[in-house]
Chains A and B, each alone.
Chain A
Amino acid sequence: MKTRRRMNVATYVALFPAFIVVVFAYLGTMLWTVQISFTESKLLPTFAFSGLRQYERLFATSRWSISLENMVIFGIGLIAVCLVLGFLLAAALDQKIRFENTFRTIFLYPYAMSFIVTGLAWQWILNPTLGLQQYVRNLGWTDFQFDWIIRNDRAIYVVIIAGVWQASGLVMALMLSGLRGIDQELWKAAKIDGIPTWRVYFNIIIPMLRPTIITSVVLLSLAVVRVYDLVLALTGGGPGISTDVPAKFILDYLFGRANIGLATAASSILLVIVLVIITPWLYYEYFRPKRERR
């Protein structure tokens, strides 16, 4: 019995670093952040409870509502376009294509690069005086306009373009492995029954890909909530604050404007948003009473 106890001790020693991380870095900081959000903290945290004041102030700040709105636009745009494009690319590559490897490599390489690089690359192409717009004008269409990056009402769509460029390869890779997992007999059966290809995709394949689609949506949603570097490098949040996002709002108020009460209130809102998205999915993936998985 003595050795058994020693084994136990070893296990707890091994789990100690993870335990420390969970208690201090995850749970502790999270609770602390929420706690600060209920105080009047400015540059330094104070402990005077002030109820929901910071939240009222937060939602009265137009910059915050613009950030949230941008996150929603960016999120819907990014997820929709990535899913459609990623699926089309995967379906196309699944047709026994020549140079399949080359195409796959090309579609996925942006995903290996940082958001900073992605943002800077697109900033350069979309620069109206030197980039695409000027190029087309030089070709002879002198009144060609593509200056979304400097227009208040369009700049957020530029962020979507860059995001799609970066992330749709990921969706393609996930979908492709999903498609490859589908039994080829199914295609033969559909063929024999004379069902048109597009109907097989719509009525059989896409429903079968549901787990892959859910995974893609979850991953993309996380990227959406976290989006920061991309906006910083691409537009800097501008013009004005027209492409501001919550993550950038929080960082600015934490370190630039020394208003940590407001910033932590904003963080807490993000926290709630993510918990709402993620908890059902985590439960479904890991903690659901396991029948045969798939």
Chain B
Amino acid sequence: MATATMTASTTALEPSGPRPKRLTADRVGLYVFLVIAAAFFLLPMYVMIVTSLKPMSEIRLGNIFSLPEAWTIEPWLQAWNSACTGLNCGGIKVGFWNSIRILVPSVIISIFIGALTGYALSLWRARGSNLLFAVLLLGAFLPYQVFIYPLVRIYSSVGIYGTMAGIVVTHTIFGLPLMTLLFRNYYSSLPIELFKAARVDGGGFWAIFFRLMLPMSTPIIIVAVILQVTGIWNDFLFGVVFAGRENLPMTVQLNNIVNSTQGEKLYNVNMAATILTALVPLVVYFVSGRWFVRGIAAGAVKG
């Protein structure tokens, strides 16, 4: 370690002698490593941004790292308004609004049911609740391919296959384990006296949930919202299988635009569309900062 060791002293002595040198060879090496790593992580974002601001004529030259000579926001407008997936040329905004329409109910419903289940599991006794929780947890880890085909059949038999309801139900189903875990851990970490006091005051199951527990859940709800918003926005598989043609979320539409085989590939438009798709989770990430890290730590099933 390069930092100088401190000799413990109880008296407030002024430091004497030359200041310990901060810039040793170790330190320099450390920063070089960090800067190179940072370059690796930033490179794709830089290339995408630069490309999205260039006309196609510059892109064909193959100078992916050079700044645009003639800056243009035309690709961004085109990506948003008129990019094509096959015959449809409504731009990525179609997918954007679909994603929003999927996102809002999915987030609300999945968090509500997760909170309710977590509350019932942590503070009330019901027969078989341990088993329920165990299967739920296991479900969180199984590959989705195991569930997909039967779910398609079940959805078609009740008439929600390929509809907005279908995709919202799907996000609720597969968000439930993590949400339950999150709230279960949170509620069992609260002082039990609180719950007992509410019982003594005559609070019933629902009264305690709505008037005591939910209002106290703000910190964990924030984490849950971050996890669900980024998770659902970034979903591709469920969107492509369950949402139906009319409701394809932004990630699916993006992939269709970029990997469609017709005509010349408009790389600048594609890159603009890609950045637009990444924007919502990135904003969540930058705004929420430490909460995001807390969220993924919780998502790592550590409580």
Contacts and interface: CB of A to CB of B under 8 A. Distances in A.
Interface residues of B, number: 95
Interface string B114-157: 00110111001110010010111111011111111111011000
Contact of B30 (A97, A135, A174, A285): A97
B117 A117 contact: no
Interface in A115-137: 115-118, 120-122, 124-125, 129-132, 134-135, 137
A6 B207 CA distance: 13
A279 B138 CA distance: 8
Contacts of B278: 112-114, 117
Contact of A135 (B38, B48, B64, B116): B64
Given A15-B117, A97-B30, A124-B271, A10 B206 contact: yes
Interface in B24-51: 30-31, 33-34, 37-38, 40-45, 47-48, 51
Query: How large, as a class, is the contact surface on chain A?
Result: 35 or more
Interface stretch (A51-59, A72-80, A103-111, A202-210): A103-111
B300 A219 contact: yes
B287 to A, nearest CB: 11
Nearest to A98: B31
Interface in A1-51: 3, 6-8, 10-12, 14-15, 17-19, 21-22, 24-30, 32-33, 36, 45
Contacts of A32: 149-150, 153
Contacts of A88: 33
B5 A120 contact: no
Interface stretch (B71-79, B80-88, B187-195, B234-242): B234-242
B143 A29 contact: no
A264 interface: yes
A95 B33 CA distance: 13
Interface in A254-269: 254-255, 260, 263-264, 266-268
A169 interface: yes
Nearest to B202: A3
Nearest to A15: B120
B217 interface: no
Interface in B57-116: 59-65, 113, 116
Given A165-B44, A169-B41, A270 B132 contact: no
Contacts of A115: 234, 236
Contacts of A111: 296
A113 to B, nearest CB: 5
Contact of A17 (B117, B139, B142): B117
The 3 A-B residue pairs with the shortest CB-CB distance, nearest first, are: A134-B62, A114-B234, A10-B205
Interface of B: 1-3, 5, 30-31, 33-34, 37-38, 40-45, 47-48, 51, 59-65, 113, 116-117, 119-121, 124-126, 129, 132, 134-139, 141-151, 153-154, 172-173, 176, 180, 204-206, 209, 230, 233-237, 241, 251, 254-255, 258-259, 267, 270-271, 274, 277-278, 281-282, 284-286, 289, 292-293, 296-297, 300-302
25 contacts: A11-B205, A17-B116, A19-B132, A21-B176, A29-B151, A33-B147, A45-B153, A106-B38, A108-B292, A110-B41, A113-B278, A114-B235, A121-B44, A122-B44, A124-B44, A130-B62, A131-B62, A131-B64, A165-B44, A177-B293, A226-B144, A247-B143, A267-B149, A270-B145, A271-B146
